[in-house]
Structure 1
Amino acid sequence: MNFLYPGFLFALLSVAIPVIIHLFNFRKFKKVYFSNVQLLKEVEQQHSSKEKIKNLLILLSRILAIIFLVLAFAQPYIPVANQKISSLNNTVSIYVDNSYSMEAVNKDGSLLDEAKRRAKELVADFGINDRFQLLTNDFEGKHQRLLSKDEFFKALDDVQISSISRNLQQIINRQASVLTGAANKYSFLISDFQRNMSNGKQLQTKDDIQYSVLKLNATTLPNVAVDSVWMLSPNHQPGASEKLVVQLKNYSEEEAQRIPLKLTINNQQKGLSSATIAAGKTRRDTFSFSGLAAGWQKGVISMKDFPVTFDDSLFFSFKVEQSRSVLSINGPGVGSYIKALFGADHYYKLTENPESNINYNGFADYGLIVLNGLKNPSSGLAQQLKSYLNGGGTVAVFPDLDADIQSYNAFLSSLSLPVIDNLNKAETKVDRIDLQHPIFKGVFEQVPKNLDLPTATRYFSFKESNSANKESILSLPAGKLFFGRYGVGNGSVFLSATGLGNGDGNLARHPVFVPLMYRLALNSGRESALYYYLGNEYALATKKINLGKNQTLKLSANNFEVIPEVRQLNGKSLIYVADQIKRSGFYNLNMADSLVGVYAFNSGRTESDLHYLSKTALDSLAGKSNLKIFDADKDAVKLLAGANKIGQTLWKLCLILSLIFIAAEILLIRFFNKPKKTI
């Protein structure tokens, strides 16, 4: 048998107190002489031997009561398999949920205040030498430290509501990373336990940690949230008409009526609306606006919905380009169709390179690269195009039908494109156009029944080994490819079966060629995300940034500035900010005095659903693990001081025996050897 707190055994010296009292209370019988015994009405007959036995039994009861009371405080136990446990201290991790849902109010005030109070009560029950971890949704580095009681209470008082939310398995894993070593380990989770904290899978716990879940009870509140937004056009031109789609979601059990909705861009109101949303449903609304100047735009969709307000606004940003750059790499003797097409619109900035003199370093600056009639596309060009495509670029290939098929196939294979089977010289006509493809969608107001489509005098037939990433836009009879899209890396390759020469057909002179190429250019490029969510370790993408030797990037907002990590990958720059951004809003990325980009951050929408896991659901998640579920309104959290690790604890037995001996003392005093009375 061993003791958790052997220091209390010094209290056994208190056994001397009843012994001393007993020694100084010995009774000595004295003879008393009376002249007349008739004055005595009654005499108590006592036997000195029985009195001594009684006193000894009372003394023994007192001694044993004190001994077992001291042992109860020392907490004796029988080690598992008779192995002695060396650790006597406890390591405790307490998770306090500080997500937005903890702003809800119940009869005890806000849930966060109640969670703090419960955490203090738990810590108060542990010893002065025990150590504690305070964990919140922020997962900050300081939360990996073990604190004393006073340090824990101070850190707990500083906990504020956070926009970040975590799931239960993440929290348990984070606690396990701190609860190591030989100490008795305890994990406590204090939360309202929204449904979003679980993915439905049973929780994975560790056998040497005692887990306790304390569920706080909140009232389910009605809530409508701005769920998401997206632009219908991937390209934004100065002064052009824009359309923005807004999705609202009603998380309550009742219909939300006439919710006011407002769109502002650069602090200017661009649209007003209202929406009625059925219970538990989503509703989409479209805003149309125009008149934007070139540059970065800061947009906000906002509404009025009480009492939950953290998800009533959504920030987004996008850039209106002053122009769009197109690169045309030309083979010898090609026509001027590409130059005439893009030269007619000042929005497009066309750069032409001959096949023999290609500037590979500038590929990342172009939204669209056109390969126009190349005679001998090299492996070096293919390698550079692969990097460009991996970065999200767009390439259009119009082959030279007189080129060597074998060399062309090597080029096409390196880009994971279908290889050429043969050259067909029989004139044929395109018999199918996919008007629902993004390239043509919305181009034609009305589609005539007898639509005139391009013809091909000569064209390549391809060996289609894998059509999983193929999208046919224009097709020849029997489903043969005339013009189609292939996904390569993160980008797109648009492959034509014919060239743009006069002897190849009429594609370059056909009316469909103009919208085809314009839409290719407009839909090309690396469209950045409209917004990001806080707490997710996203990499912010931007065009490739070439930093000088002493140059750095800065991400800044009101009273906030940080130097992010920058990595170059596939012709673009990735900006890593980890968990440094804590508040919703707009953040400017600057290089010296130049604005590189504007990024919008929003709180996640997982907290918008104010429905909670029941105790039964939590029991199901716990399964057969060593995780105990407590309801804050019904249960008291019971601590078993290391019982799950040290084996059989005996402090309860010692406490019971102490009470038994106290009761025995009382009975001995009252009923043992009660003297008989005579008259």
Structure 2
Amino acid sequence: MQFKNPEILYFLLLLIIPILVHLFQLRKFKKVPFTNVAFLQKLVIENRKSSQLKKWLILATRMLLIAATVIAFAQPYFSNATIDSKQHFTIYLDNSLSNTAKGEKGNLLQIAAQEIAENASEKNSYHLITNDEVYKNLSNTDLKNTALKIKSSAKPSKIKDILLQIETINTPLKNTSVENIIISDFQNTQFDVFSKLTSKTTLIQLLPELKNNISIDSLFITDKNANNFNLTVRITNNSDTQKDLPTAIYNNKKLVTKKTVNIDKKSTNNISFTVENTPEFLGEISTSVNDTYSFDNNLYFTVQNNETINVMAIGNNNSFLSKIYTNNEFKFLNSTVEKINYNAIDEQQLIILNELESISESLQKAINQFVNKGGNVVIIPNNSLNLSSYNSFFNKLSIGKIDKIRNDSLKITQIVYDHPLFKNVFDKRVKNFQYPTTKNQIITALNNASKVIKFEDNSAFIQQINNKNGKIYWFASALNKNNSNFTNSPLVVPVFYNIGLQSLQFTKSYYTLHQENTIEISTQLQKEEIVAIENEKSSFIPLQQSLQNKIKITTTDQPATNGFYKIVARDNIISQVAFNNPISESSLNFLDFSKISEIPQNINIKNNVAETLQEINKKNEVQWLWKWFLILAIVSLLLEILILKYFKV
């Protein structure tokens, strides 16, 4: 038994008062002469005994009255915790898409939120954490209102990060009994993440009723032309063999094509479609199936037909470049030194300075501004370059200097396969191929340069220098046929093609929610002009950077839902993009607690939210006893009155 006001118990010392009154009564007996009759002696003795009993009963009732009254005011109670200690619960409710599956009672997330609201205790305070929000210091009323408003989020749950977040927000809670409640399906989770937990924690696992799922994982587009394109869709079956699975493709909500497919048990199939191309293609792939998750049964994508990369080559020997930068992907502009259109430089994404003997001051200034605004430049030197002119240009670009020209025939033998320029170019690393050669090399000392291709002596043939916004590619040798046969080698196409392709990141067919996505759009904005991303339900201004003839957009936590979004500037739609849910949420890999050999004492495993909260509330419930002691005091008073009135001596 515990007391809310234990200091009042000092008043129990008042019990000494009735004891003293009883022991030291000042009542004096008066002697009365009486006939000495023998039979009266026995009567006097019995009368004295009755009087003594009455006094002891009155003493007992008075002491009980005082004691019961004092204890009642001290407010006694039974509880597992002291009344002064604050009870606080930090609840994590996993609102990821996987928790929207159907359980025994219905939607797992909705049922869990409802049971939290119904079983919140008035005597406790709460923190509530979801994948995308943190609600601190909630009363039971606030918790109820907040829990019922929780919606699913495409942001995947990362239990490790959640545990760190719980520890962080619990740290300021002093003189408070803290208990954690983690509600999740524990998808793709290892039990090891809970090993460092020291506070008392209850893990409540929510599992879907169905354990079979079919998901559309990805797609890629090939052989695109003006009339049609080939679309390959990757579908994963995590359950038994699925026959005659209907799969349809829509363009702007209109059915384009449809077919049924068979997918073997626990396998992945690539399904191909030939689709008619249109100027604006807002596509959706959809399957009709009753499975665990419905959010992965469709996938949105766009097909952009109007994007080209502007490439400008300045020099006299540009014929090999015009064969690489063809009209379907690039807009190639060829210019001699004498006829440079400086106004056209601002419209380019890539400029190639091809074997110029010297670089004029005006051209140096224009290229420097171009690079600082995010443009990419390829510099191919001339055999008879003007060293002073080139070093002046390098100095403006802050990339280093040229030391000398070396007349020595060298083979080009080493490819840096891990360089981004060669991503997805080679199926395997080729060690023996027909090595191209150069007759002389320009020796440089460049700042922050990475090697792309190397000579046989390990010196650099091609280097990439990253400017703050743009990239500069330096070739150590002239590429004319008198000096090198590199333009006849198989390397020339992937090198120049990928340099051009990476000068502007084409809008992808689709992006994934809650990942860092970079979107580059070829457009020019006015000063201080911004773009917004919007659809019918939401709108936001993304992180953006205006570069040379393009705008670079970065998204992370927004948008929040999958679908099509417009990129808008000046109330004009400059592009449309598609966002889809993360593939990781389609997994049926859940933590199996039954296979955990040893669970720490501070961790409890449950599978029902309502029962767990009711059990916690009951365990921490306070049973007040002061009413019973007050009743006992009243009964004591009544007993004393009855004894005084009816106990005859």
Q: For this structure pair, what is the TM-score category when the shorter chain's length is used for normalisation?
A: 0.5 to 0.7
Q: Distance in 2 between matches of 1:362 and 1:350?
A: 12
In the alignment, which residue of structure 2 is the partner of 1:112? 109
1:460 pairs with one of 421, 427, 441: 441
Please tell me whether residue 530 in structure 1 is matched to residue 509 in structure 2: yes
Q: After superposition, where does 1:610-625 map in structure 2 within 5 Å?
A: 610-615=588-593
Secondary structure (helix, strand or coil) at the match of 1:196 reads: coil
Aligned-pair identity (%): 20
For 2:81 and 2:290, locate their aligned partners in 1 and report how far apart those are by CA, in whole Å.
58
- Pairing partner for 2:582 from 604, 613, 625: 604
Please tell me whether residue 227 in structure 1 is matched to residue 217 in structure 2.
Answer: yes
- Of 237, 243, 247, which aligns to 1:250? 237
The within-5 A match list for 1:428-439 is: none
Equivalent position amino acid for 2:314 in 1: I
Match of 2:281 among 280, 293, 297: 297
Residue in structure 2 matching 1:99, options 92, 96, 99: 96
- Residue 589 of structure 1: aligned partner: 567
- Residue 272 to residue 462, structure 1, CA distance change in 2 (3 Å): farther
Alignment partners' CA distance in 2, 1:608 and 1:137: 17
Unaligned runs of 5+ in 1: 20-45, 80-84, 444-450, 644-648, 670-679
Query: 2:332 maps to which residue?
Result: 350
Alignment of 1:439-478 (within 5 A): 458-460=439-441, 470-472=451-453, 478=456
Contact 2:349/2:549 (CA < 8 Å) preserved in 1?
no
Q: Decide whether the 8 Å contact of 2:228 with 2:275 is kept in 1.
A: yes
Give, in whole Å, the separation in 2 of the partners of 1:510 and 1:274.
Answer: 44
Q: Could you tell me whether the CA contact under 8 Å between 1:409 and 1:420 is conserved in 2?
A: no
Residue 246 of structure 1 aligns to which amino acid in structure 2?
A: V
- C-alpha displacement of 1:202: 4.1
d(CA) in 2 for partners of 1:438 and 1:290? 31
The verdict on how the C-alpha distance between 1:564 and 1:521 changes in structure 2, with shifts beyond 3 A counting, is closer
How far 1:584 moved relative to its partner?
1.3
Q: Secondary structure at the match of 1:350?
A: strand
Partner of 2:537: 559
Cα distance in 2 for residues equivalent to 1:585 and 1:8: 66
Query: Runs of 5+ in structure 2 lacking a partner?
Result: 19-48, 426-432, 640-649
2:129 & 2:176 partners in 1: Cα distance?
18
Distance 2:269 2:404 in 1: 48
8 Å Cα contact 1:265/1:298 also seen in 2: yes
Give the 3 Å change call, closer, same or farther, for CA 515–50 of structure 1 in structure 2.
closer
Tell me the equivalent position of 2:355. Answer: 373
Q: Assess if the C-alpha contact under 8 Å between 1:323 and 1:349 holds in 2.
A: yes
Preserved contact between residue 364 and residue 571 of structure 1 (Cα < 8 Å): yes
Separation (CA, whole Å) in 2 of partners of 1:200 and 1:409: 58
Deviation of 1:228 (Å): 2.6
Task: Indicate whether 1:274 and 2:274 are aligned.
Answer: no
What is the SS of the residue equivalent to 1:151?
helix
- Correspondence 1:189 to 2:181: yes
Cα distance in structure 2, aligned partners of 1:415 and 1:335: 27
Q: What TM-score comes out, normalization by structure 1 length? A: 0.65
Q: Who is 1:285 aligned against?
A: 270
The answer as to 2:204 corresponding to 1:214 is yes
Give distance in 2, aligned partners of 1:534 and 1:460.
Answer: 48
How far, CA to CA, are the matches of 2:588 and 2:220 in structure 1?
25
The whole-number CA distance in structure 1 between the counterparts of 2:525 and 2:216 is 37
Q: Relative to structure 1, is the Cα distance of residues 131 and 511 closer, same or farther in structure 2, using a 3 angstrom cutoff?
A: closer
User: Cα distance 1:534–1:186, how it changes in 2: closer, same or farther (>3 A)?
Assistant: farther
* Equivalent residue number for residue 399 of structure 1: 381
Quote the Cα distance in structure 1 between the aligned partners of 2:238 and 2:400. 46
Q: Partners in 2 of 1:56 and 1:541 — Cα distance?
A: 94
Give the equivalent residue in structure 2 for 1:136.
130
What residue number does 2:38 align with? none
Q: Which amino acid aligns with 1:316?
A: F
Deviation at 1:562, TM superposition (A): 3.6
- In the TM superposition, residue 595 of structure 1 has moved relative to its aligned partner by 1.6
- Per-residue deviation at 1:497? 5.2
Letter in 2 for 1:581: P
**In structure 2, the residue corresponding to 1:123 is in which secondary structure?**
coil
Aligned residue identity for 1:170: D
Match of 2:247 in 1: 261
Shift of 1:368: 3.4
Q: Matched residue of 1:373: which SS?
A: strand
Q: Distance in 1 between the 2:365 and 2:554 partners? A: 31
Residue by residue over 1:236-273, the C-alpha shift from the partner in whole angstroms, topping out at 9 and shown as x without a partner, is 6644755x443333344x45555443444444525746
User: Do the aligned residues in 1 keep the contact of 2:563 with 2:578 (CA within 8 Å)?
Assistant: yes
| Pick aligned residue for 2:608 from 632, 636, 642 | 632
Secondary structure at the aligned position of 1:152 is classed as helix
In structure 2, the residue matched to 1:327 is 312
Change (3 A) 1:64 1:432: closer
| CA contact 1:106–1:219 (8 Å) conserved in 2 | yes
Matched residues in 1 for 2:524 and 2:68: separation? 80
Q: CA RMSD in A?
A: 5.8
Distance 1:511-1:178 versus aligned 2 partners, 3 A rule: closer
Q: How far off its partner does 1:590 sit?
A: 1.2
Deviation at 1:137, TM superposition (A): 3.0
CA distance in structure 1 between the partners assigned to 2:434 and 2:461 by the alignment: 16
**Contact map agreement 2:449 2:464 (CA 8 A) in 1:** no
8 Å CA contact 2:102–2:210 kept in 1: the answer is: no
Q: Give the aligned residue type for 2:385.
A: A
Q: Specify the SS of the correspondent of 1:583.
A: coil
Structure 1 distance, partners of 2:342, 2:614, is 67
Q: Contact 2:79–2:619 (CA<8 Å) still a contact in 1?
A: no
* Matching residue of 2:28: none
Indicate if the aligned counterparts of 1:2 and 1:78 stay in contact, CA closer than 8 A. no
Query: CA deviation digits over 1:298-339, x for unaligned, max 9?
Result: 232322332221111121234223644211133xxx345368
Q: Secondary structure at the match of 2:193?
A: coil
Q: What does the per-residue CA deviation read over 1:188-242, in whole Å, with 9 as the maximum and x for residues that have no partner?
A: 435233233569534666x7x7544333454461112122334458xx6644755
Offset of residue 400 of structure 1: 0.5
